Structures are given as structure tokens and as C-alpha cells.
Structure 1
Amino acid sequence: MVQMYVHTYLWICHCDWDNDTGQIYRYNHVGFDGEDYMKLQVKEKKYIPQTQEAATDAESWNNKTDLFRNYLQFITDDCISFLRKYLELGRTTFNRTVPPKVYLLQRNSSSPVVCLATGFYPAIFNITWRKNGQEHHEHVETGETLTNMDKTFQKRISLRVRKEEWKKNRYTCVVQHKSLKKDIQKILTEDEIISNHSNGYTTTPIGGDK
């Protein structure tokens, strides 16, 4: 019977660049079977063994001039160059903001009123119901933030309240997002509610001011 032994070798190369201070952090570790094996000391320009068993390999790597020069070149120069390049290429995506469009929806007169915000980017976002100017949490359910087909996001919050109650009180859906100069506030009235047709909602934007 032949016994087979499987070992795991992991090389981790990591660099951080602080855009404000210009400070650079470099990290290059080698792992073996889930444990630290050796790490590169950039200033000393050599690998330091982390276990007794790694001493021979660290010495061998340090003596292989061409191999070591390539590792050192990557961690000191190439890693930061790639990081800056990809940040610049992705700057448009990272910094873009798209304001939400807001809908008040209700399937029928006995179902909850849903405040739906959709089409916004980035995902960081807040949506709440207020009653007479105060945050309202009774009979309120908040859904998860979901991704749209165009990579924007949507989120909804439902309010179960009788019609006579929201006619006597002021219920407002408040949407907050970094793309907005001011919050979107939609007061629950009959004119604002969009009813469904057949099995889905027929939706028309009723918000999205910048």
C-alpha cells in the first residue's frame, strides 16, 4: 500500500499605500501546512525563518540571487505600482454616485405600504418610516439591500397601518444617500401610492432629487 502525503505551501504578498500620507506597508510571508514558515524582512533584504525546519529553505532562498531579486523587486516596486494603477483605473467606479428613485407601492387596501428605493449607488444607504416627524418602528419591516441587473442597488421598507390612521397622522418615508444634497421624503397619501396591476407593481418614479 502506497501512502501519499499532501502538503500546502502558501506565498502571501501584500502591500498598502496610504494616499494621504504616502506611507507604504509591505507584507511578504510564506506559510507551510497552515503555519508561518518564513517572512521577508524588506529592510534587511532577507527571508527570516519562522520555524526551525524553515532555516534551510530561508538560507537557500537568500542565496538564490536571481530568485530573491525577483521577489524583492515585486514587493518593493511592482506591488505598489500595480496598486496605484488599478486604483486609478477604478477611480471612476469607486467615486461614482447614483441617486435613488423612490416609489410608494401597495398591492391592495389591506396590504402593507412599501417604500421602495432603487437604482442607487453605492450601497451604503438608509431608509426609514417616520410618524409625525419621529422615527416609527411599529409594524415596520426592512428588507435587505439587493443588487439590480445594472449593478445599482435597491432596498424596501414596508409599513402596515390602517388607512384611517395614515389619514389622521403624517407618515413619511425618508431616504438618505450620499448622492443626495437633501433627504428624499415621501408623505403617505393616496396620490403618492402606486397600485399593482395583475401580479406585479406598475411603477413610476416619484423621487430622486439630487
Structure 2
Amino acid sequence: MKILMILFLLGVQEAAAVIHSLKFLSTASSGVPNLPEFVGVGMVDDVQIGHYDRDTQKAEPTQDWAVKLKEDHPQEWEGRTAFALVHQQELKAGFEGVKQLFNHTEGVHSYQEISGCDWDEETDELNGFIQVGYDGEDFISFDLKTETWIASNQQAVIIKTKLDSDKAGNAEAKTFLTQIFPEMLKVLLNYGRSSLMRTVLPSVSLLQRSSSSPITCHSTGFYPHRAELVWKKDGEELHEGVHKGEILPNHDGTFQMSVDLDLSAVGSENWDRYSCVFQLSGVNKDITTKLDKAEIRSNEGGSLSVIIAVVVAVVVLAAVAVIGFIIYKKRTDKRSPPSVENPEVQEQMVPTA
């Protein structure tokens, strides 16, 4: 998986599974116009819940229910901002160290961290992760099963060697990923359940740029993002001549996606055998749209009549546990989090001369 600096495309989970996720995302950068040197976000089920950046130096909630959580625990929230300030310096130190490894003294560069956990509410299965990327490419990641680090390129090997030798830090990382993160996630789900667990069906349209272009089945306004959109012929899913797009976020917190059908293999007399089917996790009834020429909205012969609003998810929103601090504040009084955010680990990530 590539860790991108700006665009974080939301993946589709199994429609039948009830899987929740907690992600802390952070980006340190240099030479990027109009972007703070450090930006981070906390996300639950791929919904942004809090934001911090170097310019504001404040951890702020971005959901109504997160605002309520902040109001209920104001002192802890203030502590979260203080913690974010420290994390900002730690990430910057790691960033400078990795730039030295690549001999990058100037230009545009970025350093990203994604940490968190997935939790299957039905089976109680957990999966924790820490991934670090540099300039949009994987750099190093934590293997939870072996409590060791995986280097993605030659430059990361020196970092892996140092991190692997820190047995205590890696054991603590395992505890953090398998116990503390899940505790955070469950508390956040309790506060945001009415919003996070809602289901919203989309509007579905058939679009075509010109008579020779593929037919696009576009669905927008659905929630959650655990959804499928497919083309079927006589009730059987098609794969040949079909191009499926990514699930993308809308500005209102809902999602959109599209799937194209190449018409070169579709005879006009067979159109009634084709349909676009939308499936949403938690909803038993599918939305089926028959392939009908009369229902296709086309741009041919004039200016654009349909504008597909794509709101890009900026991943520079925070690896800091913006809201989860409520749970682990007391624990961090004893020791900082055991990932690459840990000052002891960060120090190892800065190569010496």
C-alpha cells in the first residue's frame, strides 16, 4: 500500500462485516506551499473527528458528537493539544533524520505516519498497525505478530536495525495497538454511534459524455463507505469491460463512487439485460438501475449538464489521537506512546554523523 501525502482514498471493506477502525494520521512536510509543516487528523471509521496543525497549534473536534466529548472533558482536551505539540517536534525530528538518509537537503518532501487499529464488532478480532512513509512511498512498518519492523527500502534498513533492538519499546507498541487503541475506539464509538452507525442510501444516475463513451453508473450521498457498485447482465456480475472507481468522500460526510461499462460489447437490442446494482452494508435491499437510454444523462452537443462533485480527502489531518487522549492521558504520564511517536524511538530514527 502506498502512503500518499495528499490523497487518502478510502478502501471498501467487506459489505457483510461490521468492522470499525481508528486511524491517527500525521504529515510533516517541507517546501509545500500553503501547507503547515505539521498537520494531523484523528479518524473513526474513516470519518474525520479532530484536526491539529502547526499554524493553529490546537486540537479541534470536527464532528458534533466530538464537540460534545470535548465539552464533557475540557481538561483532557487541553492536554491533547499539549501532547500534539510534543508529537509535532518528535515527527519533525524523525523527518529530518530520514531526509539525511536520502541526502535530501532541499526541495519538496513529506513524511507520513498512519497508526491505529481495526476492530470486528462481531468476532472481536483486532488488528493494530503502524506505517511510516516518505515522499509518498512506504518506508517502514511495524509487524505486530513478531514485534519487529519491516523496512520497505534500503535506506530504512538502518532504522529497522535500531528499532528491532528496542525490545521494551516494541513490546509496549504491541500493548498500545492491541489494548489502548481498541479502548479509545470503543469510547469514541459510544459517543458517535448515532452518527457513525447510520445508513443513508444514495441517488444513482446513468451518465455518458458522448454516444461513444462508456456508460457511467454514479452513486452519491451514501453512508457508510462500506458499499459495492457493480454492473450485472441477466443478474450475473460483469467483470470484462467494467472499470470500477474508488470510493470518495463528499463535503457533507457522505460518499460517492462510480463504475463504467464499455458499450462496445453491448448490442442495442440487449440493453434491457444490463443493470447497475448498488449494495450498502447493513441494508438488505439493493438499488437496481436498469440500463435505459431514456435515463442516461449526456453532455453530448452542449456544455456540461452534470457535475460530479468530488471532494478530496486531505490526509494531512492528524496522526495524533485527538480524542483518544481521554483514555490514555493517565497512561502517558508514565511513558509516551510506543510507536515512532515515542521520543526514545524518534531519537533512534535520527542518524548520527
Instruction: Provide the secondary structure at the position in 2 that maps to 1:104.
Output: strand
- The offset of 1:107, in angstroms, is 1.4
- The offset of 1:194, in angstroms, is 1.4
The equivalent residue for 1:175 is 278
Q: Give 1:148's match in structure 2, choosing from 218, 230, 250.
A: 250
Q: Give 1:138's match in structure 2, choosing from 214, 218, 240.
A: 240
- The offset of 1:198, in angstroms, is 0.8
Q: Which amino acid aligns with 1:142?
A: K
Q: Give 1:109's match in structure 2, choosing from 181, 188, 211.
A: 211
What aligned pairs does 1:108-127 form with structure 2 within 5 A after superposition?
Answer: 108-127=210-229
- The 1-side partners of 2:237 and 2:244 are apart by 13
Q: Kindly tell me the number of residue pairs found equivalent between the two proteins.
A: 156
- The offset of 1:105, in angstroms, is 0.7
Query: For residues 128 and 20 of structure 1, do their structure 2 counterparts lie closer, same or farther at Cα, with a shift above 3 Å needed?
Result: closer
Gaps of 5+ in 1: 1-5, 8-13, 23-32, 40-77, 204-210
Q: Which amino acid aligns with 2:193?
A: R
After superposition, give the CA deviation of every residue in 1:100-152 in whole Å (9 maximum; x if it has no partner): 21111111211111000111111111111111222222211111111111121
- The offset of 1:92, in angstroms, is 2.0
- The offset of 1:181, in angstroms, is 3.5
Query: For residues 163 and 118 of structure 1, do their structure 2 counterparts lie closer, same or farther at Cα, with a shift above 3 Å needed?
Result: same
- The 1-side partners of 2:231 and 2:198 are apart by 27
- The 2-side partners of 1:188 and 1:86 are apart by 42
RMSD: 4.5
- The 2-side partners of 1:141 and 1:160 are apart by 8
- The 1-side partners of 2:224 and 2:241 are apart by 28
Instruction: Provide the secondary structure at the position in 2 that maps to 1:194.
Output: strand
The equivalent residue for 1:89 is 191
Query: Is 1:190 matched up with 2:293?
Result: yes
Bigger RCO (CA 8 Å, 6+ sep): 2
Gaps of 5+ in 2: 1-92, 95-115, 125-161, 170-179, 309-353
- The offset of 1:36, in angstroms, is 3.5
Instruction: Provide the secondary structure at the position in 1 that maps to 2:246.
Output: coil
Instruction: Provide the secondary structure at the position in 1 that maps to 2:267.
Output: helix
Q: Which amino acid aligns with 1:183?
A: D
Query: For residues 101 and 180 of structure 1, do their structure 2 counterparts lie closer, same or farther at Cα, with a shift above 3 Å needed?
Result: farther
- The 2-side partners of 1:146 and 1:130 are apart by 22
Query: For residues 177 and 87 of structure 1, do their structure 2 counterparts lie closer, same or farther at Cα, with a shift above 3 Å needed?
Result: closer
Query: Is 1:159 matched up with 2:270?
Result: no
CA contact (8 A) 2:224 2:255 kept: yes
- The 2-side partners of 1:21 and 1:179 are apart by 16
Question: Highest CA radius of gyration, 1 or 2?
Answer: 1
Query: For residues 80 and 120 of structure 1, do their structure 2 counterparts lie closer, same or farther at Cα, with a shift above 3 Å needed?
Result: closer
The equivalent residue for 2:304 is 199
The equivalent residue for 1:25 is none
- Greater share of residues in helix: 2
Q: Which amino acid aligns with 2:279?
A: Q
TM-score by length of 2: 0.35
- The 2-side partners of 1:184 and 1:156 are apart by 14
- The offset of 1:37, in angstroms, is 5.1
- The offset of 1:84, in angstroms, is 5.4
- The offset of 1:93, in angstroms, is 2.8
- Greater share of residues in strand: 1
Instruction: Provide the secondary structure at the position in 2 that maps to 1:191.
Output: helix
CA contact (8 A) 1:121 1:153 kept: yes
